[in-house]
Amino acid sequence: MTPFEYLKRTEKKRMDELFQLLRFPSVSAKSEHKKDMKECAAWLRHHFKALGFKSRVCPTGGHPVVYAEYISDMRLPTILYYGHYDVQPPEPLNLWTSGPFEPEIRSGYIFARGVADDKGQTFCHIKGLEAVLRATGTLPVNVKMLIEGEEEVASENLPPFISKNKNMLRADVAVVSDTAQFGKDYPAVTFGLRGLAFVEIVVHGPDRDVHSGTFGGAIANPINVLSSMIAKLHDKDGKVAVPGFYKDVKPISKWEKAQFKKLPYNEAAYKKVLGVSALQGEKGYSTYERTWSRPTCDINGITGGYQGEGGKTIIPSMASCKITCRLVADQHPADICNKLERYLRKIAPKSVRLQVIKYGGASAVVVPTNGPWLDAAARAIKAGFGKNPVFMKEGGSIPIVADFKRILGINTVLIGFAQSDDNVHSPNERLRVTDFERGCKAAAALPAELAKVKV
């Protein structure tokens, strides 16, 4: 029996087990789900033990980490698999067709919170490894599994856990499936992720909301000031106007540009999916270059003044906004936060008091494209999906990938089984049944391919 034959025989069992995992409302952001988080972690530990892994639940300063390992022979490559069992809050609940924690298959899709991000993708690897074990009696590589419970709340406790357990987590390469394919029937290997810098600014005016008739024209309106400052963050060509913002940005390589040009692109379809009439961005770059390989600065939310029903004629006492910058190699989050603060203080008028809160962020990640690990991943994807993958980047961030490099000194292979339109973080999150099945097959093929790499 081959691993693929085992997967075929256990198709219903695998889906039943996935549904069990998806039924846990493991929402890390809400304290009311603390018990659910512990129960989900315990379920994973038990599942690993049933497969023949050594497994335990490890406490952290927050939600626990599930660690499992299967050591075949220390002369073989050691692979560190990463995933997360926590999920985003499901609200607004009224927009779900079926319950977020009541998994259901409709029109070829599995619908449930966490099925794409990230329980379903992580489970592909668990089931792929199970298939190899049951079919051959062992694994051709050493496997370590690290499944955390705080990815959706910034993984605050994971880097210290990794630093404290460096010996336990020592590996030759990491494997993460928390990204997406390029498109339907376009499997992908992701070789880069953008980083993140996060800042909040508060513009303070009068010490209370005041009458706009009595005082209007005599004092600064914090909302007007904030709007003016926001308008100065970009120039007419869409470039970020913060001095020194692009100082460490590497030019897009010829190889990278060539890879992007190989990918199909339909601007009309792109606009239709997003419901916009036109695209806008940094002048001189394609859509893929803008979203994958160029840094950005975006306002995520604005607060200030009266926003209830009817009118209220005031000058508000304060206005605020949240700003995130997506970063590329070799930009550093702290440096970008500092440059942003200096610029904002320079353009803020003396008639207001500016408060800047810096939340840090994550560094961008670029995986070496000329090494053997990506080639091994590409072969496994072809075995599982029936076609060669494309090479792409993603505009989002997975901070732990940078932590693996910084703390453990290892690169990460990023293989996505989901689709970009699977409603991740939105109501009606989903994963195609065919993508789950192909993901399991690719995951079953991956260990043998990684075993071929000389370390």
- Are 358 and 439 found together in one domain? no
Secondary-structure percent of the chain, ordered helix, strand, coil, rounded to 5: 35, 25, 40
| Mean pLDDT of all residues in 396-415 | 92
DSSP bridge pairs for 199: 323, 358
- Three-class DSSP category at 210: strand
More confident call, 23 vs 360: 23
Residue 360 has pLDDT above 80, yes or no: no
Tell me the CATH number at 381: 3.40.630.10
Sign, CA torsion 17/23/27/32: negative
Name the nearest CA neighbour of 333 among 298, 350, 358, 309: 358
Would you say 195 and 250 are in contact if contact means Cβ atoms under 8 Å apart? Answer: no
pLDDT in tens, 37-55: 999 999 999 999 999 999 9
- Are 200 and 342 found together in one domain? yes
Which domain-ending residue is among 362, 387, 418?
A: 362
Rounded to 10°, the helix 433-451/119-136 angle is: 50
pLDDT in tens, 290-318: 999 999 999 999 999 999 999 999 999 99
Residue 276: predicted pLDDT? 95
pLDDT in tens, 203-229: 999 999 999 999 999 999 999 999 999
Kindly state whether residue 267 falls inside one of the protein's structural domains.
no
Reported as half-sphere exposure (CB side, CA atoms, 13 A), residue 265 has a value of 10
- Are 228 and 117 found together in one domain? no
What is the chain's mean pLDDT, rounded?
A: 96
Which domain-ending residue is among 362, 383, 417?
A: 362
Instruction: Give kind and range of the element (H or E) at residue 83.
Output: strand 78-84
Kindly state whether residue 377 falls inside one of the protein's structural domains.
yes
- Local structure of residue 407 (DSSP, 8 states): I
Task: Please state the domain count of the chain.
Answer: 2
- Are 315 and 413 found together in one domain? no
- Are 169 and 318 found together in one domain? no
pLDDT band, very low/low/confident/very high, at 362 (cuts 50, 70, 90): confident
pLDDT band, very low/low/confident/very high, at 337 (cuts 50, 70, 90): very high
Distance CA 278, CA 179 (A): 26
pLDDT band, very low/low/confident/very high, at 374 (cuts 50, 70, 90): very high
pLDDT in tens, 379-389: 999 999 999 99
Residue 198 has pLDDT above 90, yes or no: yes
Name the nearest CA neighbour of 202 among 218, 179, 225: 225
Residue 181 has pLDDT above 80, yes or no: yes
- Residue-wise burial string across 40-50, b where 16 or more C-beta atoms lie within 10 A, e elsewhere: bbebbbebbee
Distance CA 290, CA 251 (A): 12
Distance CA 181, CA 419 (A): 5
- Are 241 and 372 found together in one domain? no
| Mean pLDDT of all residues in 28-34 | 97
Kindly state whether residue 391 falls inside one of the protein's structural domains.
yes
- Local structure of residue 252 (DSSP, 8 states): P
- Are 117 and 244 found together in one domain? no
Which domain-ending residue is among 346, 362, 378?
A: 362
Distance CA 328, CA 214 (A): 49
Residue 288: predicted pLDDT? 96
Kindly state whether residue 48 falls inside one of the protein's structural domains.
yes
| Mean pLDDT of all residues in 268-281 | 93
pLDDT band, very low/low/confident/very high, at 455 (cuts 50, 70, 90): confident
Q: What residues contact residue 208 under an 8 Å CB cut-off, 6+ apart? A: 317
Would you say 51 and 129 are in contact if contact means Cβ atoms under 8 Å apart? Answer: yes
- Are 89 and 232 found together in one domain? no
Residue 205: predicted pLDDT? 98
pLDDT band, very low/low/confident/very high, at 195 (cuts 50, 70, 90): very high
Tell me the CATH number at 344: 3.30.70.360
Question: Cis omega before residue 375 (within 30°)?
Answer: no
Residue 273: predicted pLDDT? 83
Residue 407 has pLDDT above 80, yes or no: yes
Residue 369 has pLDDT above 90, yes or no: no
DSSP bridge pairs for 369: none
DSSP bridge pairs for 56: 67
Kindly state whether residue 290 falls inside one of the protein's structural domains.
no
Kindly state whether residue 112 falls inside one of the protein's structural domains.
yes
Cα 327 to its chain centre, rounded Å, is: 14
Would you say 324 and 396 are in contact if contact means Cβ atoms under 8 Å apart? Answer: no
- Are 71 and 45 found together in one domain? yes
- Local structure of residue 253 (DSSP, 8 states): P
Question: Cis omega before residue 330 (within 30°)?
Answer: yes
Domain that holds residue 127: 3-193+364-451
Q: Rounded to two decimals, what is the model's pTM?
A: 0.88
pLDDT in tens, 59-75: 999 999 999 999 999 99
- Are 113 and 171 found together in one domain? yes
Amino acid at 417: F
Cα 59 to its chain centre, rounded Å, is: 23
pLDDT band, very low/low/confident/very high, at 367 (cuts 50, 70, 90): confident
Tokens linked to 157: 């406790």
Residue 283 has pLDDT above 90, yes or no: yes
- Are 73 and 114 found together in one domain? yes
Name the nearest CA neighbour of 83 among 210, 201, 176: 176
- Three-class DSSP category at 108: coil
- Are 84 and 229 found together in one domain? no
Residue 361: predicted pLDDT? 86
